[in-house]
Structure 1
Amino acid sequence: MRADDAPLWRAQFNPLIRPYLVLTVGLTMALTIVGLPLAVIWFCGVGQWWARHYFERLECELDARTLRYRKGILLTVEKTIPLENIQDVTFVEGPVLKRFELAILKFETAGQSQRQANDMRLIGIVDAQTFRNCIFEARRVLRERPEVAPPTGDPQHAALDDIRRQLDTIIALLRERR
């Protein structure tokens, strides 16, 4: 394990995310005619069970190079986002979220498609504003770190050195012909 792999920050999630998830999913179901019977079942206990297990499986860690998060019950999603790819972290806090003392962090990364952007969001991180600032600080430190040359024993490095020497020889021969 490299020193870079040690977590700089392990996010804690607000337990109020559970009733928020039960309410938002249940109300979404209730708004559809087909989902109305499911909403009744959801509010009678299935939603609390799901929210509790979902909450227990939420993880988010920031290390010197990456942001890793994991979520899900039946379908587990784990994403590792390199810090150098993070362009912006948007902090969202609306009236309903404020009522539950929650905030959403949305991640915008370099090279993402619009479809992927919806998957890169975290809800309910305790002290989300500080976590956001910590991400930006870790990214700044990573960008300011000098590039480390690859070890000389690396076969790819040796092959590139050979190619460079051969190109230098070809250039020298072409100059002599002129």
Structure 2
Amino acid sequence: MTVDAPVHARFNPLIRPYLVLSIGGTLALTIVGLPFALIWLCGVGQWWARHYFERLECELDARTLRFRKGILLTVEKTIPIENIQDVTFVEGPILKRFDLAVLRFETAGQRQGQANDMRLIGIIDAQDFRNRILVARRRLRETHAEADAGRGPDATLLALQGIAQRLDTVIDLLRREPR
């Protein structure tokens, strides 16, 4: 289960009827949305779901998770693996009926309401893809920990001295420049 080469997620084609029915059902719940639900279910929703499915992309490499979705409003996100705090696997009775699952991403610094755009529905073998993300995150954190361990206090001191020298150079240049 390595993530050396980029891994492209594949999406289940059953996401199309799921989206058509779930959005059509949501529209039908209100009296105002009922006419729109009829239009949606008679063809517009199928057209939209087909194009939505064709544009779905998700790629995982050693450092980032990139996904793209949408037709008119396209959402493209690149999430650094080190910022991913958790990947939640969601599966319910309706999703199971369509052989689908949802992966929801929680990232560092994310506020409560931001999670809506950071979820993907319909990745084939979503549990395995989730595990690949978590393995990539663990490897990246181990690499950072090893690099930090290799840099002792002497290396940090040398780095700070280098920064101080550069700042002195900048200060000298600013003092020489006429106003």
Q: Cα gap change, 1:43/1:165 in structure 2, threshold over 3 Å: closer, same or farther?
A: closer
The unaligned stretches of length 5 or more in structure 2 are: 151-157, 169-179
In structure 1, C-alpha distance between the alignment counterparts of 2:73 and 2:117, rounded to whole Å:
13
Query: Quick one: distance in 2 between partners of 1:158 and 1:103?
Result: 47
Q: RMSD value over aligned CA atoms?
A: 2.5
Structure 1 runs of 4+ aligned residues shifted over 4 Å read 157-160, 164-167
Q: Deviations over 1:5-35 (max 9, x none)?
A: 951x100000000000000000000001111
Q: Which residue of 1 aligns with 2:147?
A: 147
Task: Give 1:147 deviation, angstroms.
Answer: 3.1
- Percentage identity across paired residues of the two chains: 75
When residues 73 and 5 of structure 1 are mapped into structure 2, their CA distance, relative to the original with a 3 A threshold, is farther
Residues 40-77 of structure 1, C-alpha deviation per residue, up to 9 Å, x if partnerless?
00010000000000000000000000100000001111
Unaligned runs of 5+ residues in structure 1 are 150-156, 168-178
CA distance change for structure 1 residues 19 and 166 in 2, over 3 Å: closer, same or farther?
closer
Question: Which residue in the other structure is 2:46 paired with?
Answer: 48
TM-superposed CA distance for 1:119, in Å, is 1.3
SS of 1:50's equivalent in the other structure is helix
Query: Match of 2:176?
Result: none
**TM-score (norm. length: structure 1):** 0.81
Structure showing the higher helix proportion among its residues? 2
Show the 5 A alignment for 1:1-178.
Answer: 6-7=5-6, 9-145=7-143, 146-147=146-147, 161-163=162-164
Separation in structure 2 between the aligned mates of residue 53 and residue 166 of structure 1, nearest angstrom = 54
Q: State the number of aligned residues.
A: 156
